Structure 1
Amino acid sequence: MENHSLTKRKLVKQIGSCALAAPFVANAVNASAKSLTESTNHLADQHEAWQQAQQIIDNIQTPKIPPVAVALAKFNPQADGTGDNTQVFSKAIEYLHQQGGGKLIVSAGVYQTGPIHLQSNIELHVEKDAVISFFADPEKYQPYVLTRWEGSDVLSYSPLIYAYKKHDIAITGEGTLQGNASADHWWPWRYKWKRGKLNLIEGESQDITRDQLRKMTADGTPIEQRVFKQNFLRPSFVQPYLCQRVLIEGVTLRNSPMWMLHPLVCSDVIVRNVQCLSFGPNSDGCDPESCRNVLIEGCVFDTADDSIAIKSGRDQDGRKHGIASENIVIRNCKMLDGDGAIAIGSEISGGVRNVFVENCFMDNPKLYRAVRIKTNSSRGGFIENIYIRNLTVNKVKDAIVINMRYNEDKIEPYITQVQNIQIENVQVADARRAFILKGDPRLPLKQVKLQSIDVKKVRKEDIIQDVAELTQHKIIVAGKNRQLG
């Protein structure tokens, strides 16, 4: 791993531009979106709240791609699953970029490649029966780029598809993006994983690098010094970072090294009719982090971790940037295997607000939790104005979980303020436990409203701790009216 360093000049330039994150996103938000955030600050009425959800959707801007199309075939790729097309993709994207942008069409075939870095005004269109197959060799994903790993700033491996400070980008089509992670490649760095057998290599564990990164974060180490010779931090699959107007539509993603779709500090993001299929450790389906104005709809998630997890940075880094994830609508999605179907956290130190989830179907006996909000006293930040309705759940371990003590190994002063969580019309066929609501005694859960929730079958009692304001109506568990608390 010798080629990990950027030149000092490039590194300083890139790190310096990271400090522009807040104004970069803020300038992309029009006046109506700003007024929406202000108006939803303390919403309590369900009808009014869902009107605001529609306003969020109406305000999202779609990418503006010039009406120019070029076939990847023009650049003589190898489409038989052999060779290395990394430079072919790079040259094709640069060619379109020089023309002012357009659509790069990848026709039927199998195209091996290293990382693909998108430019502004570019649409990567993967046609049916086309497979972009990414190498599973970490050396291919150097030099390092500016990214986040589990909410901490770091210079690390390039995501498989990456865009930094770009605008108007899209990934579309009915083709497949194959990450090629497996029990032999990428995933073994997780080392300890309870859901499957990994072919481990002694001395290659993400714990080695993660622990160093966590210490650097706590110590306030400058980002340009967060570079590791022993680097076992798996990259995300698709990561637009500091981008405006992003569309990901129609494609199927398979076997990701880690998080699959990871828009980071972006505005105006649409994820539509995408399939995320990956059964490895930390294979979250879609994790918008510190993003604003996001629509996720019509997607299928079949992963070994959270289907959707909304995040906003971790601990000191997240609090320092202070960029919330807000104005997010999730609808008409299907969640199968996984940890949490709809999750918020736990990396939420920049805050999460104005999230609307509706009309989702969850059906897999291995699904752990239908709704999962998780944080602890190391995070800080806030979670507020969360509206969830019309969920159908077949079998699940825990139906509704709000846990302010998630993985809390020590008590810290950075308590997350969690308030105005409204969940209604949830039908669950079978759950080990219906409700886990665990606040912090120093700052209990506030304004939690549960309405029209029917859990047909349960095996364990609810856990209700440190909830200051709980409103409930028509809660039925195992055929009987249930009064929580």
Structure 2
Amino acid sequence: MLKYFLLFLLVSGHAVAQQLPVIQEVKFKKDTFNIVRYGGKADGITLNTMFIQQAIDACNKSGGGTVLIPAGLWVTGPLMLKSNVNLHVATGAVLQFSNNPDDYPLVKTNWEGLDAIRAHSPIYAVDAENIAITGKGLLDGAGEAWRPVKKNKLTPPEWNALVSSGGFLNESKDTWYPTARALKGSLEKRPGVIAEGYDLQKAETIKEFLRPNMVNIVRCKRVLFEGVTFQNSPAWCLHPLLTQHLTLRDITVRNPWNAQNGDGVDIESCRYVLVENSSFDVGDDGICIKSGRDEEGRKRGVPTEDVIVRNCTVFHGHGGFVVGSEMSGGARNLFVYDCNFLGTDIGIRFKTTRGRGGVVEKVYIRNIRMNNIGGAAILFDMYYMAKDPLTMFAGADAPSIAFEPVTDATPQFRDIHIKNVACKAAETAIFVRGLPEMNIQGIEMENISIRSKKGFVCIEGDNITLKNATLHCDEKTVVNVQNSRNLVLDKIRFNPSDVFINVTGERSQNIRLLNTDVKNAVKESVLGANVPKDVVRK
């Protein structure tokens, strides 16, 4: 029977004991298989794929143990991990994956929640049990051989040097691709997706566009990544899919800040996961929860659940802790605490859009420290447009707010609890934007302290509580509410402002202002047209 720890959280003002799952650990035989014995050479030239794979295969056939990558520079192509194998990358070892796309065959796999053809991941495991990557060494995915680069993410000298090195530019001359096939893929509709008619032969014509995730773990049980550094991934760095009992401990994940799709870890449709004492400095989302995309994700119907994230730091990325946008199978029982998000575009980020479906619920976040957040410190957004998250805070056009029918493709965010958050600098403190037909609902935020340019924005929210919060914002309106109801603002502190709360939208109702001294505001409230005069009550 699975054991649990208890974590006490404050929910609706009451102490509630939440069960924290205990993730099962790996265990290996003491036998060691040194790749040198199989012909491996650490000369930075020899392609060691065959030698390392032979060691992995021999270890697996003998019942398991450790495959040792000793100190040195080891060049290799893609590797297949197998059951009961601990791939140990020793101190001083660099496992450098080849930058030759010809070394990576195309395979049927999964990309952003869809069945797709992609290049073989540098490290891949499927239907394996009791596997690990450990040690103090470094794994480099040679991502520069695959990734496109946007002109606006380089300095002029860097851009000129990149273009002069070879490669191909798109028609507008603002994005560089490493090969003609990569450029061709950028022009295709859903490139590589099997539902679009792609098979291995057709995918070959756009191969370099079909960038692999660096480490892809599929339908595995009892997995450990510990101590190692993963860097320079072609796409997502770590991608566990449909995997149970996964532990990421004391790892470092690094990608260039401008790496497209350069996520740190994307935990997709997994159960019993622990991410602890690790750091992420990446080009996209840092620690991300996913569960499939749109109809295919709903058909799979496997949520990500029973996840613990603790004592982690994200230095750069589009989001620190992120749920979505591919969350069509749902997510629940997520526990995130004692983490730092320092320099990310968004701090705590929940994102989805119409068509996804899925329910995200029972999420508990506490003790989060943030600084230099380019967008919102806390964000819930149901209009995700797959764009740079900072564009929504730079005068981008607001989306349509027309009602649409509620179906199984309508996403939901609910029953989410955030406590003890401190943020020194952000563009926006809290941003909530639900759908007219499906409000974001049941969000509790308590003990929040944020210094930002904009304060609290709530659009299409229902049953949202902000309690014991300090909002020091530059904008002269602290709280902006649009078409939201059952909003509770309890014990809010703020610096001198023109207006404490501005309410618009004829569907706004039942906003309660409790234990809050509004003397710092010239006006307590400003109401838009068709807003009931008694919408704000004390």
TM-score by length of structure 2 reads 0.76
SS at 2:269 equivalent: coil
- Whether contact under 8 Å (2:117, 2:198) holds in the other structure is no
Report the equivalent of 2:359.
Answer: 382
Distance in structure 2 (CA, Å) of the matches to 1:230 and 1:222 = 11
Distance in structure 1 (CA, Å) of the matches to 2:15 and 2:223 = 29
Report the equivalent of 2:38.
Answer: 75
AA at the equivalent of 2:411: T
Report the equivalent of 1:401.
Answer: 379
SS at 1:256 equivalent: coil
For residue 463 of structure 1, report the CA deviation from its aligned partner. Answer: 2.4
Task: Map residues 215-230 of structure 1 onto 2, 5 A cutoff.
Answer: 217=195, 227=203, 229-230=205-206
For residue 64 of structure 1, report the CA deviation from its aligned partner. Answer: 2.7
Report the equivalent of 2:212.
Answer: 235
Distance in structure 1 (CA, Å) of the matches to 2:367 and 2:311 = 10
Unaligned runs of 5+ in 2: 6-10, 170-179, 387-398, 474-491, 495-499, 502-510, 512-538
Pair 1:392-2:369 in alignment: yes
Report the equivalent of 1:474.
Answer: 468
- Whether contact under 8 Å (2:117, 2:210) holds in the other structure is no
CA RMSD of aligned residues (A): 2.6
Distance in structure 2 (CA, Å) of the matches to 1:304 and 1:335 = 11
Distance 1:382 1:195, change over 3 A: farther
Report the equivalent of 1:445.
Answer: 440
Report the equivalent of 2:457.
Answer: 463
Percent identity, aligned pairs only? 34
Distance in structure 2 (CA, Å) of the matches to 1:375 and 1:153 = 20
How many residues end up aligned between the 2 structures?
433
For residue 337 of structure 1, report the CA deviation from its aligned partner. Answer: 1.2
Work out which of the two has the higher radius of gyration on C-alpha atoms and give 1 or 2.
Answer: 2
- Whether contact under 8 Å (1:327, 1:354) holds in the other structure is yes
2:270 to 274, 291, 311: 291
Distance in structure 1 (CA, Å) of the matches to 2:440 and 2:293 = 21
Stretch of structure 1 that moved more, 242-251 or 200-209:
200-209
Report the equivalent of 1:432.
Answer: 427
For residue 156 of structure 1, report the CA deviation from its aligned partner. Answer: 2.0
Distance in structure 1 (CA, Å) of the matches to 2:38 and 2:204 = 35
Pair 1:118-2:72 in alignment: no
Deviations 1:315-353 (A, max 9, x none): 121111111111100000011011101100101111111
Pair 1:195-2:139 in alignment: no
- Whether contact under 8 Å (1:149, 1:233) holds in the other structure is no
Deviations 1:222-275 (A, max 9, x none): 988985532312110111101000000000011110111110110000000000
Deviations 1:299-328 (A, max 9, x none): 010111111111011112111111111110
For residue 422 of structure 1, report the CA deviation from its aligned partner. Answer: 0.7
AA at the equivalent of 2:88: H
SS at 2:428 equivalent: strand
For residue 208 of structure 1, report the CA deviation from its aligned partner. Answer: 3.5
- Whether contact under 8 Å (2:117, 2:192) holds in the other structure is no
Pair 1:170-2:132 in alignment: yes
Deviations 1:388-434 (A, max 9, x none): 10011121121000001111889785111110111110000011110
- Whether contact under 8 Å (1:210, 1:233) holds in the other structure is no
- Whether contact under 8 Å (1:285, 1:301) holds in the other structure is yes
Distance in structure 1 (CA, Å) of the matches to 2:323 and 2:293 = 13
Distance in structure 2 (CA, Å) of the matches to 1:338 and 1:468 = 29
Distance in structure 1 (CA, Å) of the matches to 2:299 and 2:228 = 35
Pair 1:127-2:90 in alignment: yes
Distance in structure 2 (CA, Å) of the matches to 1:32 and 1:424 = 26
Distance 1:223 1:474, change over 3 A: farther
Q: Which one has more relative contact order, counting CA pairs under 8 Å at least 6 apart?
A: 1
1:258 to 216, 230, 235: 235
1:313 to 275, 278, 292: 292
Distance 1:111 1:403, change over 3 A: same
Report the equivalent of 1:274.
Answer: 251
Distance in structure 2 (CA, Å) of the matches to 1:290 and 1:127 = 31
- Whether contact under 8 Å (2:192, 2:210) holds in the other structure is no
Distance in structure 2 (CA, Å) of the matches to 1:83 and 1:209 = 36
Report the equivalent of 1:106.
Answer: 69
Distance in structure 2 (CA, Å) of the matches to 1:353 and 1:44 = 18
Distance in structure 1 (CA, Å) of the matches to 2:93 and 2:46 = 16
- Whether contact under 8 Å (1:154, 1:227) holds in the other structure is no
Unaligned runs of 5+ in 1: 1-29, 37-42
- Whether contact under 8 Å (1:193, 1:281) holds in the other structure is no
Pair 1:348-2:327 in alignment: yes
Deviations 1:140-194 (A, max 9, x none): 111x333211221113211110001111100000000011222xx2112xx5475
For residue 370 of structure 1, report the CA deviation from its aligned partner. Answer: 0.6
Distance in structure 1 (CA, Å) of the matches to 2:140 and 2:234 = 10
Distance 1:395 1:46, change over 3 A: farther
SS at 2:247 equivalent: strand
Stretch of structure 1 that moved more, 121-130 or 315-324:
315-324
For residue 460 of structure 1, report the CA deviation from its aligned partner. Answer: 2.4
SS at 2:329 equivalent: coil
Pair 1:52-2:52 in alignment: no
- Whether contact under 8 Å (1:290, 1:311) holds in the other structure is yes
Report the equivalent of 2:8.
Answer: none
AA at the equivalent of 2:168: I
2:51 to 74, 83, 88: 88
Report the equivalent of 2:146.
Answer: 186
Distance 1:439 1:461, change over 3 A: same
- Whether contact under 8 Å (2:455, 2:472) holds in the other structure is no
